[in-house]
Amino acid sequence: MLPKLKLSYYNFFVPYEKEQLYIIYNSLSNSMIQLDWETGKRVSKLNSMEIHYLDGEVIEMLMKYGMVISSDIDEFDVVADRANANREKCDRSDTLFMVIAPTNMCNMNCPYCYQGDKSATNKDTKYLGKENMDALKKFVEDTVYKPHAEPIKKIRIEWFGGEPLVRKKTVEEFSEFIIKLADENDIDFKANIITNGSLLDAETWEMLERCRITDLQITIDGNKEMHDTMRVYLNGKGTYNKIMDNLAIMPDNKFHITIRINGDRKVFDGLSYMFDDLEERGLWPQKSNLIDFEWAPKFYNYLGYNQDKDIYYTSYDYQKSREDFSLLKLKHYNNWAEKNDKRTRKLRVAYPSFAEFYCGTVESPNSVSIDDGGYVHKCYNTINDTDMRVQHISEFDVKKEGMEHYRKFDKTKEADCRTCKVLPICEESCNMRFVSKAESKLCSAWKYFMDERMISIFEQNFSSQDEKPAPSQIVARSGSVEVC
């Protein structure tokens, strides 16, 4: 007699007519199997009281991969336990992560930007002066020599703003301190910077190399015409050509650039011209090993550029636009590759990985964001909001009131998340969007494109059309997964 069993709530049944089979995926166990068409179709139509209609070997396979489970198991509790375990893992982090804003001033005046004062004459504009920098250094030394949690093995810095390169001397002086400390204590050190790219002259590239700042995020919002309406200097002049010229003098093989595109439908329409211009300038695809892209959405809310609802994205629209962006980028790359006798590429879908649930920057006691006044924030998105300051860095104490602001919520109990079947693999882990009641929240692309993605993964790795043997591992979002 069969034990009391039930079908997992987290099963997905994907019909694959091309090869007359069913792909069954379970997001809680992160397992995928294939069944012949008739068996798969039958399983997909059963309720839990009808499991005994299946052959014993089919039931055994479904149980092995978590698709049929004991009726005593509350899978919602399993997800909640997993989320809590990830939160506890953040508490034990051995990485000191700091987002540092040396100033909230910027030399540009982008209409949709919320980060920092726009003018050096603004009375509220401040810089991280010597007193605050000394306090920050002491915090770093205390964290390394008297750690809150695990001994520090890694230090990561992200320079933010405002425009951080307005204060190059601050960046260089603190980098010299932190590099010396890391080297003396055998700590792995890496740094990156979020910059508008307008100040990257030859001298600055040399300074970044000395500071071991190897990764840069630079915003280019589409083609020149579109970019120069949104990314402008304080005098209203466009910045596109200056940024492109600065990228052209980047030293070879010393930096990695992520070109961030703050996207809406109008920006997307001009992307082909941007890709063409990058190619004409010899930047991309020629340097695709050094330059990549991040397609980022602009949602319809109070931060919007022109409040025209028709050009902004919903969560679904955004995730669909990411797919479209990847295809457009691939098209331009392959057109270049064919013209230059280079190897073309294919778009591959990575297998899902288990969700992290929460933001490590917010959760870890060793992660802080420091504003231009020397105050601690737990999320860099609030770094220019003085109302969201937690403590001053000179008085920093992870046990003080205020540190729990973004840890008060339980994602597994949020109305839109608790019953979502992709929650166990959801890659969206932003605490701030929930706690701040943001106008828009991003849902995982798996929520919208499970069938298409699972078929793509199957075709990439296991299709009978492919003469190669099945792999022992397949690429996942985080690392790889074993093939049984």
Question: Which tens digit of pLDDT belongs to each residue from 25-68?
Answer: 999 999 999 999 999 999 999 999 999 999 999 999 999 999 99
- What is the CB neighbour count within 10 angstroms for residue 229? 15
Q: Is 80 exceeded by the pLDDT of residue 122?
A: no
pLDDT of residue 102: 96
Note the pLDDT of residue 125.
47
Spatial distance between the Cα atoms of 457 and 204, rounded to a whole number of angstroms: 43
With 70 as the cut, is the pLDDT of residue 224 above it? Answer: yes
Of all residues in the chain, the percent with pLDDT exceeding 90 is 68
Question: What does the DSSP assignment read for 165-218?
Answer: GGGHHHHHHHHHHHHHHHHHTT-EEEEEEEE-STT--HHHHHHHHHTTEEEEEE
- 264 touches 271 (CB < 8 A): no
Least confident of 137-141, 192-196, 311-315, 453-457: 311-315
In the structure encoding, which two tokens stand for residue 457, read together? 């993964």
Contact between 193 and 213 (Cβ < 8 Å):
yes
Mean pLDDT, residues 399-411 taken together: 74
Residue 435 CA, chain-centre distance (Å), reads: 18
Tokens coding 153: 């093995």
**Reduced to 3 states, what is the DSSP secondary structure of residue 281?**
coil
Q: What is the pLDDT of residue 28?
A: 98
Q: Write down the pLDDT at residue 302.
A: 44
Write out pLDDT tens, residues 369-388.
999 999 999 888 888 888 88
161's tokens? 């703003």
Q: 367-370 and 291-297: which strand pairing?
A: unpaired
* Neighbouring-strand partners of residue 189: 155
For residue 316, is pLDDT > 50? Answer: yes
Strands 31-36 and 68-70: unpaired
pLDDT of 135 > 50? The answer is: yes
Question: What's the angle, vertex CA 63, arms to CA 61 and CA 65, rounded to 5?
Answer: 75
In the numeric block, the tokens 């924030």 are attached to 377
Q: What is the mean pLDDT of the chain?
A: 89
457/455 Cα distance (integer angstroms): 5
Give the pLDDT mean for 244-248: 98
Tens of pLDDT, residue by residue over 249-266, are 999 999 999 999 998 899
The reported pLDDT for the residue numbered 182 is: 98
Higher pLDDT, 191 or 403: 191
**Angle separating helix axes 168-184 and 202-210, nearest 10 degrees:** 20
Give per-residue burial for 51-71: e unless 16+ CB within 10 Å, then b: beebeeebbebbbebbbbbee
Does the bond joining 285 to the residue before it have cis omega, within 30 degrees of 0? yes
DSSP sequence for 122-169: -TT--B--HHHHHHHHHHHHHHHHS-SSSPP-EEEEEE-SS-GGGGHH
What average pLDDT does the segment 425-442 reach? 78
Residue partners of 464: CB distance under 8 A and separation at least 6: 19
Average pLDDT over residues 81-104: 93
Q: How confident is the model at residue 361 (pLDDT cuts 50, 70, 90)?
A: confident
CA distance linking residue 70 with residue 72, whole number of Å: 5
Quick one: pLDDT band at residue 470, thresholds 50, 70, 90? low
Q: Which one is predicted more confidently, 188 or 461?
A: 188
Name the DSSP class of 395: G
Give the model's pLDDT for residue 392. 94
What mean pLDDT do residues 241-255 have?
97
Q: Which residue has the higher pLDDT, 402 or 48?
A: 48
State residue 312's pLDDT score. 81
| Residue 219, pLDDT above cutoff 50 | yes
**Quick one: average pLDDT of 213-242?**
96
